[in-house]
Amino acid sequence: MYNLALALRPYANRSAEDEAMALLRQSADRGYAPAEATLNGGQMVAQAGEGLPGNGGTGGGNGMPAATGAAPPVLVVPAGPPAAIVKQFEAMLADANKAIANKKYDNARKAAENLKSFVIHNNLGPEYTQRSDALPDQIATAEKNAANEAFQANLKQSNTLYAKILPEIEKGDYATAEQDIQALDGIGEGSAHKDDVVVLRNRIQQYEAEDQRFAAAQAQLSSSDKATLLNSKAVLDGMAASGGRHADQARSLLPQVAAKITAVELKEKADLANAAAADKKAKITLATAEVRRLESAHDYSGARAKLSDLQRLGENTGGLSAEIEAAEKEYANSLRSSSCAVIPVQHEKWTNPLVPGAEINQVFLDDNLELTASANCAFPADVLQAAQPGSEARLVVQIDSGGKVTDGRFLAGFANPGFGAIAAAINGWHFNPPKVNRKPVKTIAVVSIHFK
């Protein structure tokens, strides 16, 4: 027999008609009689005249054509498009089916249109046309089935969400409830609770308002203001009577509110008494301040007259009276004054060996001594009163290395205000630390004191 596979191999990319004609021409070239080609049942059938004798004298003895005059083998050429075109068709069809499976119906419709155009352009015949034309119905059926599945899924999802939202609202978890309501509102066709979205949101608003009113009334319980507590009681009374979601809580808080109101009322009475006492105290303080103001202004007779106001308020004025007497005496003493200064010396350089802390004459100090003391040389009133106005005293003081006075004596020939002045110098005077060649030493200085 004639080897058809070998004969068709060079024509794999040609159309069926071209392949058949080429095969017939090849047959003629090999000595076959002219042949005619007819399409028989979807196959190209080639019929030829007599052929050349084969090795066996008849066709088919050894697989070779028969001799001239004998009938050549019948060649059957497969009809239809080339394999590459078929492969591309199948790939495009697979893309369309994939889009349907993924529920991307717009993509599937576009793929179906492209496939139909491909079939027409390549003239693929009725088999391929029928397969491409069936795609739109397949897409519509799949889309309808998916829509029905989505409807049932939406129904189930809406019921699940609704059952979840109700307890969330009752528990006061409004943020989670609102998220679930948004999800419920976004469910498409098939939702059984589309109209409940508004109702649920209104319920949240109502509960939030009740929660806020209850929280405000509860917060007011910490107040000590009677009006605030009465307002809290009014709100809680209303909630307890209404039987709302906070009714039980309101009823449990009402005894606490009543107790606080009673406590506030008792405190108000105590506050009135305290206010009266505070008012009296303020008047006493004011009158006492006025006495001391007059005393500070040295109006001692006016200060004594003001004591009567304190006596009318029930105050004991004995202490203030003694204070006025003492202030008057002190003022009289203050009219006496004194001033003091270190008598300066001419300084010399110390050139001998020096032991720190030794007592060295004032003339060898590195710096002048400076006296620091309070008013009137820190002398008390009795010292000032004892001294003769216009007199001068000279006090020789011993000064340690830190500048503190350790002892003193008055020079003869000058006024002597007494030991009280020396004690005041020891307790109230201070000098800059004496130094010789920058080393701390003790020294003696003479201070001149003038009494006025």
3-class secondary structure, 80: coil
Mean pLDDT for the stretch of residues 298-310: 88
Residue 14 near residue 25, CB atoms below 8 Å: no
Domain that holds residue 121: 83-133
Provide the greatest CA pair distance for the chain: 185
Does any domain span residue 139? no
Helix (H, G, I), strand (E, B) or coil at 1: coil
Q: Which pTM value belongs to this model?
A: 0.35
Q: What is the mean pLDDT of residues 117-143?
A: 91
Does residue 323 share a domain with residue 267?
yes
Asked if 317 and 218 sit in the same domain, the reply is yes
| Confidence at residue 332, expressed as pLDDT on a 0 to 100 scale | 67
Rounded-to-10 torsion of CA 181, 184, 185, 187: 160
Residue type, 103: K
Q: Are residues 312 and 379 in the same domain?
A: no
pLDDT tens sequence across 69-118? 445 555 444 567 887 898 899 899 999 999 998 989 999 999 999 999 99
Q: pLDDT tens across 108-121, in order?
A: 999 999 999 999 99
Q: What is the pLDDT of residue 344?
A: 92
pLDDT band at 348 (very low <50, low <70, confident <90, very high): very high
Indicate whether 30 belongs to any domain.
yes
Model confidence over 257-266: pLDDT tens digits? Answer: 999 999 999 9
- Do 111 and 15 fall within a single domain? no
pLDDT tens profile 268-282: 889 899 998 999 899
Q: Which of 122, 125, 97, 121 minimizes the C-alpha distance to 109?
A: 97
Per-residue pLDDT of 391-417, as tens digits, reads: 999 999 999 999 999 999 999 989 898
Judge if 9 and 37 occupy the same domain.
Answer: yes
218, 258: one domain: yes
User: 68 with 106, same domain?
Assistant: no
Q: Compute φ and ψ for 57, nearest 5 degrees.
A: 85, -10
Is residue 254 domain-resident? Answer: yes
Q: Are residues 322 and 205 in the same domain?
A: yes
Residue 234, domain member (yes or no): yes
From 297, 314, 335, give the residue that closes a domain.
335
Mean pLDDT in residue range 137-162 = 89
Nearest to 366 by CA among 353, 350, 355: 350
Distance between CA 420 and CA 410 in Å, rounded?
12
Top pLDDT among 89 and 36 is at 89
425 and 294 in one domain? Answer: no
Mean residue pLDDT across the chain: 82
Question: Is 309 found in the same domain as 226?
Answer: yes
Q: Are residues 342 and 329 in the same domain?
A: no
In this predicted structure, the answer to whether residue 441 has a pLDDT above a threshold of 90 is yes
The pLDDT, as a whole number, for residue 380 is 86
- Alpha helices, DSSP H, located in 172-195: 174-185
Which pLDDT does position 39 carry in this prediction?
A: 39
**251 and 312 share one domain:** yes
Contact call for residues 338 and 387 (beta carbons, < 8 A): yes
Between 136 and 35, residue with greater pLDDT = 136
What residues have CB less than 8 Å from 87, skipping those under 6 apart?
none
Total number of domains constituting the chain: 4
Final residue in a domain of this structure, among 335, 360, 395: 335
Question: Would you say residue 53 has pLDDT above 90?
Answer: no
